[in-house]
Amino acid sequence: MIPAEFDYVVPDSLDEAIAALRDGGEDAKLLAGGHSLVPLMKLRLAAPTLLVDLRNVPGLRGVERQNGHWRIGAMTPHAELQDRHDDLGLTAHAAKGIADQQVRNRGTIGGSLAHGDSASDLPTVLVTLEGAVTAMGPDGAREIAGTDLFLDYLTTALDPLEVITEVRLPALEGYGHGYEKFTRRAEDWAMVGVAVVVLKNEDGTCADVRVGLTNMGSTPLRATEVENALRGQPLDEASIVAAAAHADAGTNPPADRNASQDYKRHLARVLTARALRSAAG
């Protein structure tokens, strides 16, 4: 389908981009990779009157280590993340499984987070790793924790005039990781996904564990009952299975044409066990 008519600008600075959003009014939208917004426009589910393309704004791309964290520019495409397995761990693992290579070449981490789709992989990674984003608006920059960014389905805490400029993720050295998701086809959104990071004690017990759930509610979720059940326990098969049995506790997964709520709850338990095994090594 053909989208409704719209204007299009390509600012050369962040200030120009924010000014364009302000001047464009409530129907102005940012364009990063475009793999979420453009399909909605073609279906006439979104009809912005102005697109503000961020591709020429400097300083929004790249990955670097800073004081125990990884700083990732918001316009960094998934393809630049997927091959940094030794550095980015869980983030690289999840990025490699997003759609297909063409999408990963264009889609960006900032665009995925700003879109706020609970079936997306990287919002769950942000919540699991307890990362944060930096957003720039007319009043300057502010940091938003991943746990505070996602408010509801396709709804975030970003102001309409704010632009995500960077994503900050803790390095979590020594942690193992796993990301499992179930899809009908490789390039589909996840029916359910599970992100896990685990830190072992020297005696093989669990020192720390974080478990995030994709598409098990209107926002990315933490499986806190799994975490509480596994901390301090041996990372053996019995403990993993017992902890994973709590993966769907407190969730309200959306039923759709691919899966019922009960099936998604079942997937959450199965995939959590698999991700925990991978993370525990």
Structure tokens at 30: 């940012």
pLDDT-derived band at 35, boundaries 50, 70, 90: confident
pLDDT(271) > 90: yes
DSSP 162: -
Please state, in angstroms and rounded to a whole number, the distance separating the CA atoms of residues 237 and 225.
17
pLDDT-derived band at 12, boundaries 50, 70, 90: very high
3-state secondary structure of 152: strand
pLDDT(170) > 90: yes
pLDDT(46) > 80: yes
pLDDT(72) > 80: yes
Give the model's pLDDT for residue 187. 80
pLDDT tens sequence across 195-211: 999 999 999 999 999 99
Q: What average pLDDT does the structure give for the chain? A: 94
pLDDT-derived band at 142, boundaries 50, 70, 90: very high
Give the model's pLDDT for residue 244. 98
pLDDT(1) > 80: no
Q: Which long-range contacts (CB under 8 A, 24 or more apart) does 83-88 make?
A: 87/63, 88/63, 88/169
Give the model's pLDDT for residue 42. 84
pLDDT(172) > 80: yes
Give the model's pLDDT for residue 235. 97
Q: Which residue would you say has higher pLDDT here, 186 or 58?
A: 58
77-91, 118-132, 143-157, 158-172: least confident range: 77-91
pLDDT(247) > 90: yes
Give the residue-averaged pLDDT of 144-148.
Answer: 97
Query: In terms of DSSP bridges, do strands 150-152 and 50-53 run parallel, antiparallel, or are they unpaired?
Result: unpaired
Give the model's pLDDT for residue 163. 97
Pick the CATH number of 176-280 from 3.40.640.10, 1.10.260.40, 3.30.390.50, 2.40.37.10: 3.30.390.50
Give the model's pLDDT for residue 39. 82
Task: Indicate the pTM of the whole model.
Answer: 0.95
φ, ψ (nearest 5 deg) of residue 64: -150, 155
pLDDT-derived band at 38, boundaries 50, 70, 90: confident
Please state, in angstroms and rounded to a whole number, the distance separating the CA atoms of residues 109 and 70.
13
For 7-53, CATH gives: 3.30.43.10
Q: How is the chain split into domains, by residue range? A: 7-53, 63-170, 176-280
Q: Which long-range contacts (CB under 8 A, 24 or more apart) does 184-190 make?
A: 184/258, 186/100, 187/99, 187/100, 187/103, 189/117, 189/119, 189/120, 189/215, 190/119, 190/121, 190/214, 190/215
Please state, in angstroms and rounded to a whole number, the distance separating the CA atoms of residues 3 and 150.
27
Largest CA distance in the chain: 63
Give the residue-averaged pLDDT of 107-113.
Answer: 96
Share of the chain above pLDDT 90, in %: 83
Decide if 184 contacts 118 (C-beta within 8 A): no
Class at the top of the CATH hierarchy for domain 63-170: alpha beta
